[in-house]
Amino acid sequence: MKIKYKAIYENIRQQIENGKYQVGDQIPDENTMCTQFGCSRMTVKKAYDLLVNEGYIYRRQGQGSFVLSNSMGQRELEIQGRELTGFYRGTNGEGQAKILHFNLIFATEKIAKALNIHLHDPVYDILRVQYLDDKPYVIEQTYMAPSVIPGITQEVLEGSIYNYIENTLGLKISSSKKTVSAAISNELDRQILHLSEIEPVLVVDQVAYLDNGTPFEYSNSRHHYGLFSFSVYALRR
């Protein structure tokens, strides 16, 4: 790791996650870290601020820096990558994916607006089911513009779209906006996710962005209510 503040961040993060620093423990002050890592205060500060943003520590003027939580220690949630720090990996497909349909359609107003393209521009219209341990847990409706993400095929869709985008196309996925809500399950939900009439779905509406600011994906995911939850750490500003 050539970037110093990331190295310091990783160093402390790991010591928190593996329990060397317990919740409530004070971690070294900035000057101590400066001498230890041979760097200036600003560099330590940057590393520590990252830890604050991710909910690992809190800091108080005049007192010091203390462990707030070991974040990842709370893995009681069923489907969770690095959910707590925030990036939704639904489309990452760590399990298997089954394609329900894969078409080209004309962008509706909603899609065009979300993807920042013109009305009636062509878009991929993909409906997939994701499985984990042979259990279906989410139905994903995805729209992407071929002008942004070219060359999508059945094969790509059976694997991970995100891997294709990052590894094959060499693009960088940088952020996303999500809105989470609960909804009554519809006919398709119940059939695919094996739900009864009274069992709901957790709906995630998402627009995902490349590092050049282009929205490349607009998706609507309907999750089995018992197999998925969504966690965030929120800092008050």
Partner DNA sequence: CAGTGGTCTAGACCACAAT
Partner DNA sequence: TTGTGGTCTAGACCACTGT
Among 24, 38, 62, 170, binds a second copy (CB under 8 A): 24
Question: Nearer Cβ to DNA, position 174 or 191?
Answer: 174
Q: Is 174 in the site for a second copy (CB under 8 A)?
A: yes
- The option from DNA, a second copy, none interacting with 169 (CB < 5 to 8 A, set by class) reads none
User: 89 and 81 in contact (C-beta within 8 Å)?
Assistant: yes
Instruction: Rounding to the nearest 10 degrees, give the CA dihedral for residues 204, 229, 181, 56.
Output: -90
User: 145 and 117 in contact (C-beta within 8 Å)?
Assistant: yes
Provide, rounded to whole angstroms, the least separation between the CB of residue 180 and a second copy: 5
Question: Nearer Cβ to a second copy, position 14 or 105?
Answer: 14
* Lookup result for tokens 């942004």: 148
User: 122 and 106 in contact (C-beta within 8 Å)?
Assistant: yes
Token digits of residue 169? 């196309």
Question: Nearer Cβ to DNA, position 64 or 200?
Answer: 64
Question: Nearer Cβ to DNA, position 127 or 165?
Answer: 165
Q: Choose the binding region for a second copy from 30-38, 98-106, 126-134, 202-210 (rule: CB under 8 A).
A: 202-210
CA distance 126 to 34: 51
Provide, rounded to whole angstroms, the least separation between the CB of residue 10 and DNA: 12
Helix (H) or strand (E) holding 34, with range, is: helix 30-37
Q: What is the CA radius of gyration of the chain?
A: 21
Positions in the binding site for a second copy (CB under 8 A): 23-24, 42, 53, 55, 58, 60, 66, 68-69, 77, 82, 84-88, 116, 173-184, 197-203, 209, 211-213, 223, 225, 228-237
